[in-house]
């Protein structure tokens, strides 16, 4: 268990009437091996199970007393982190190392992909798919113009594969945006 820094201990409220205390949120963040958390990520880590609204309330309280800070990124993603005093901005030294060593595809899990929750990982895959479809389209077009048989029965198969891959990537991107929109509306099981 990670020791809570004294400067945090002095600021947090010890209200035991709350199902989720400020102290528990801070301990959960300090014990983890990651520097940033979304509300859903923290909700999944804390015990007892509490709603998204409860986690949001504790984070807001911690932000008001300058223990937790936030960064908001495009697509309205807000990440919360302990506002470490020894860091230049806004990461702890461990956080800087963690962010530079991990790519979105390293973090992408099968569950994150199938549930369309890992936005950055899915968009990275979609971008790679778009680039591959562009390459297939260019190869197909060159082979068609030059009359070169690229090892397929028909040069148009490269073009068909390019359009198929482009369509799949486009559907995946649209599906991810719809899933994010539904999650932001909080229609399924949130407080």
Return the higher-pLDDT residue of 120 and 37. 37
Give 96 or 40, the one with higher predicted confidence.
40
The Cα 3–Cα 64 span in angstroms is 22
Q: For position 187, what pLDDT does the model report?
A: 63
pLDDT of residue 98 exceeding 70, the answer is no
Return d(Cα 117, Cα 62) in angstroms, integer: 26
Q: What is the pLDDT of residues 46-93, one digit of tens each?
A: 876 788 888 888 888 888 888 888 887 766 678 888 877 665 445 555
Q: What average pLDDT does the structure give for the chain?
A: 77
C-beta separation of 115 from 131 below 8 A: no
pTM, two decimal places: 0.45
What is the signed CA dihedral for 18, 38, 171, 188, rounded to 10 degrees?
A: 0
The residue with tokens 């929750």 is 117
More confident residue, 9 or 17: 9
Query: Which tokens in the block code for residue 50?
Result: 């509490």
């Amino acid at each position: 268990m990670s020791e809570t820094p004294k400067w945090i201990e002095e600021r947090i409220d010890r209200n035991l009437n709350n199902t989720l205390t400020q102290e528990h949120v801070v301990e959960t963040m300090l014990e983890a091996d990651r520097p940033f958390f979304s509300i859903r990520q923290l909700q999944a880590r804390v015990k007892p199970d509490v709603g998204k609204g409860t986690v949001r309330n504790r984070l807001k309280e911690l932000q008001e007393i300058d223990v937790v800070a936030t960064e908001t990124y495009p697509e309205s993603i807000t990440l919360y982190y302990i506002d470490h005093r020894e860091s230049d901005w806004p990461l702890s030294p461990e956080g800087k190392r963690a962010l530079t060593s991990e790519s979105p595809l390293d973090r992408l899990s099968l569950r994150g992909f199938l549930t369309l929750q890992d936005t950055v990982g899915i968009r990275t895959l979609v971008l790679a798919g778009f680039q591959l479809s562009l390459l297939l389209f260019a190869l197909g077009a060159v082979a068609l113009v030059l009359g070169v048989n690229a090892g397929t029965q028909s040069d148009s198969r490269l073009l068909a594969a390019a359009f198929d891959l482009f369509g799949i990537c486009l559907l995946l991107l649209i599906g991810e945006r719809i899933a994010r929109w539904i999650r932001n509306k909080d229609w399924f099981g949130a407080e």
